[in-house]
Amino acid sequence: MKPKNKRKGIDRTAPRCPYCGSHTILRSADGIYRENARNDMLYVCKNYPVCDSYVRVQRGTKIPLGTVANRELRELRAHIPDDLEIETLRSTDAGVAFYVKTNGASFYHAGDLNNWKWDGAGELVNGIMDVNYKNQIKKLAKKDINLAFVPFDPKLGMYQSLGMEYFLENTNAEYVFPMHMWQDYSGIQPFIKRLSNQAMADRIVPIVHENQVFEIREE
C-alpha cells in the first residue's frame, strides 16, 4: 500500500483554530500588530481575517505561547495583571499543584499533591510517595504563602494528617484550608488540638460545612 501524500503547505505540528477548525499558518505579525518592532511570529488561522484568531510563538521557535485566541479572548487576557506569577509543582496523583503570586498576594492550591500513604500499599510504594511529596513541598519552603489549600482526606484513616503536618512544618503559609474531605470535616478539630505547636495550629482554618464563606482582612 502506498503511503498517503501529505497535503502541501500544511504544518501538521501547527495548532488548529478552535473556532472554525481550520489549520493555522506560521507567519509574521506584520499587518496584524499595529507595530511589530520585535519581529514577532504568529500562528494565524488560515481563514484570517474572517476568523480573527491567532497566537504568538516563542521567539526563535515554533512553540505557541498559549492557545489560539480570538479577539474576545485576547481582550480578556489583556486584563491579566502584569505581575502575575504562576508556578506548578508535580502532583503525587493527578494533575499539578499551583503556586500563584499577584498584586502582593500569594496562594497555593495543592490539587492532588499529597502524601497518599495507604494501608496495604507496601513500604516501597509508600516510601516513594513520601519522598516525592516532600521533594515538592520543599520547593515552597522560602516562598510567601498567604492562603493555602491542602488535602486532608479522611479516606487515609490514620494517615489523614501526614501531608498536612509536613506542609505546616515546612512552609510559612499564613492560612491553611483543609480540603479533599468529601464533606467529612470531623477530623479537623481533633487534629488542631493534637498539635503541640500552637502557632502551627493557629494557621489551620477550621471548616465545618460545605460552601462555608470566610472573610480575611489585611491587618
Q: pLDDT over 70 for what percent of the chain?
A: 94
Whether 197 shows a pLDDT value over 60: the answer reads yes
What residue numbers bound the domain in which 28 lies? 24-77
- 151 and 120 part of one domain: yes
Nearest partner of 118 among 163, 165, 157, judged by Cα: 157
Quick one: 62 and 161 in the same domain? no
- The cell for 75 is 481582550
Q: Is residue 37 classed exposed, middle or buried when 0-12, 13-18 and 19+ CB atoms within 10 A define those classes? A: exposed
pLDDT of residue 4 exceeding 60: no
Instruction: Give the domain CATH number at 169.
Output: 3.60.15.10
Together in a domain, 71 and 146? no
124 and 185 inside one domain: yes
In this structure, are 68 and 109 located in the same domain? Answer: no
pLDDT, averaged across the chain: 92
In this model, does residue 157 exceed pLDDT 70? yes
The three cell numbers locating residue 48 = 484570517
Question: What letter does residue 162 receive in the DSSP assignment?
Answer: H
Cα distances (Å, whole numbers) of residue 63 to 68, 75, 86? 12, 22, 19
> Does the structure show a pLDDT above 90 at 209?
yes
CA–CA separation, 58 and 64 (whole Å): 6
pLDDT single digits (tens) 159-196:
999 999 999 999 999 999 999 999 999 999 999 999 98
11 found inside a domain: no
Region of residue 167 (left: phi > 0; alpha: psi -120 to 50; beta: else): alpha
The structural domain count of the chain equals: 2
Residue 142 lies in a domain: yes
Based on the fold, state whether residues 89 and 197 are members of the same structural domain. yes
Q: How confident is the model at residue 121 (pLDDT cuts 50, 70, 90)?
A: very high
**Are 61 and 100 found together in one domain?**
no
Contact criterion met (CB below 8 Å) for 42 and 27: yes
Task: For residues 28 and 111, state if they share a domain.
Answer: no
pLDDT given at position 82: 74
Residue 140 lies in a domain: yes
Cell of 20: 472554525
Same domain assignment for residues 110 and 190 = yes
